């Protein structure tokens, strides 16, 4: 069944990826009607998340953000499909790194780097940063897809950005192996995800709610002596993004436990408040929370 699903869907996705961007965004407009207005994909989750995160806004204001989010969500879907065939040089034009010197600075420090990012703007195209690496190699931390054929496809696509994927269950032995072999890596962590309650070791503040926080990047940075790099990204137009990298200048070991994770969550919250429509609100980020925000309209 896995192979059957692959051979049916992949040719279709491949053909769609050959379409020019202007046609893809026309399809995205139709996809918006289907996903948002007809199927109502996770609409209740999105609406609940926006209410919890932004209770100071009235219903009409949150509804406006909701619609903008679904339009962006559909754009990112067609952009992911386009990644199958689009030249990486084209994506480099569309995803601009404002300060590539920050990457060179981190490489010059001679250590591996924990790169903390989130499901915000175009987190897939952010892999284009690997084209800036010279002495280091890019690694993405991800969860294996159940369909092994699509799993291989995802690895192949991200490999176009010179990124090697490591399953979350293998990250620690892989990083230790890299250290023994003298391999310096940029390790990308999507650190905004909500961990399972059974594996939660820290609860932090996010939009005035106490929620479980992924602290793996911080723990590994301290344990394996890695530097830390944050990212601030934004959308400048349809299919156009930019990112600014923010190096952490101190030694992670010098800070109290979980301070770096809290710092990341505060930076992410600031980005979301500036343009909330670009966050992935379909995730149940606040499912496990110890409190509601002070006031909900």
Check residue 296 and give its pLDDT: 58
Q: Say if CB 197 and CB 288 are below 8 A apart.
A: yes
Q: Say if CB 131 and CB 180 are below 8 A apart.
A: no
Rounded to whole angstroms, how far apart are CA atoms 152 and 167? 12
Check residue 260 and give its pLDDT: 96
Q: How far is CA 208 from CA 50, 219, 269, in A?
A: 13, 24, 10
Check residue 277 and give its pLDDT: 98
Q: Say if CB 35 and CB 102 are below 8 A apart.
A: no
Check residue 162 and give its pLDDT: 85
Rounded to whole angstroms, how far apart are CA atoms 283 and 29? 22
Rounded to whole angstroms, how far apart are CA atoms 193 and 218? 14
Q: How far is CA 222 from CA 184, 188, 259, in A?
A: 16, 16, 12
Give the pLDDT means over successive 10-residue stretches in the chain (297 positions): 75 94 97 97 97 96 98 96 94 95 94 95 91 92 78 79 87 92 94 89 95 95 94 95 93 94 96 97 92 71
Rounded to whole angstroms, how far apart are CA atoms 175 and 184? 9
Maximum C-alpha span of the chain: 56
Q: Say if CB 112 and CB 227 are below 8 A apart.
A: yes
Of 277, 282, 278, the C-alpha closest to 62 is 277
Helix (H, G, I), strand (E, B) or coil at 171: helix
Q: Which residues, including other chains, have CB under 8 Å from residue 162's CB and lie 6 or more apart? A: 130, 131, 133, 137, 138
Of 102, 97, 99, the C-alpha closest to 249 is 102
> Any idea what DSSP says for residue 279?
B
Q: Say if CB 108 and CB 133 are below 8 A apart.
A: no
The alpha helices in the chain, defined as continuous H runs, are 2-17, 21-32, 43-53, 59-82, 88-94, 101-108, 148-159, 171-181, 216-223, 259-274
Q: Which residues, including other chains, have CB under 8 Å from residue 5's CB and lie 6 or more apart? A: 147, 149, 150
Q: To which residue do tokens 């948002």 refer?
A: 36
What is the C-alpha R_g of the chain? 19
Cβ-based neighbour number of residue 54 at 10 Å: 19
Of 278, 297, 273, 116, the C-alpha closest to 206 is 273
């Amino acid at each position: 069944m896995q192979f059957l699903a692959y051979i049916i869907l992949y040719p279709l996705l491949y053909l769609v990826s050959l379409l020019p961007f202007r046609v893809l965004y026309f399809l995205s407009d139709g996809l918006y009607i289907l996903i948002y207005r007809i199927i109502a994909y996770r609409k209740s989750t999105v609406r609940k998340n926006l209410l919890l995160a932004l209770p100071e806004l009235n219903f009409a204001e949150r509804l406006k953000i909701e619609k903008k989010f679904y339009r962006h969500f559909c754009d990112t879907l067609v952009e992911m499909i386009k990644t199958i065939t689009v030249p990486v040089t084209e994506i480099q034009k569309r995803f601009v790194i404002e300060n590539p010197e920050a990457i060179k600075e981190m490489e010059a420090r001679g250590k591996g780097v924990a790169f903390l990012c989130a499901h915000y703007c175009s987190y897939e195209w952010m892999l284009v940063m690997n084209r800036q690496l010279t002495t280091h190699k890019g690694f993405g931390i991800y969860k294996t897809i159940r369909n092994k054929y699509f799993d291989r496809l995802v690895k192949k696509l991200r490999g176009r950005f010179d990124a090697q994927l490591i399953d979350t269950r293998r990250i620690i032995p892989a990083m230790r192996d890299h250290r023994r072999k003298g391999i310096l890596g940029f390790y990308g962590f999507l650190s905004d995800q909500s961990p399972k309650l059974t594996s939660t070791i820290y609860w932090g503040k996010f939009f005035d709610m106490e929620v479980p926080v992924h602290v793996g990047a911080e723990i590994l940075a301290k344990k394996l002596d890695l530097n830390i790099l944050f990212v601030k990204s934004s959308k400048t137009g349809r299919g156009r993004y930019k990112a600014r990298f923010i190096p952490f200048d101190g030694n992670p070991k010098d800070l109290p436990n979980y301070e770096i994770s809290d710092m990341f969550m505060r930076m992410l919250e600031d980005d979301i408040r500036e343009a909330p429509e670009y966050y992935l609100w379909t995730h149940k980020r606040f499912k496990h929370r110890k409190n509601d925000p002070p006031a909900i309209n």
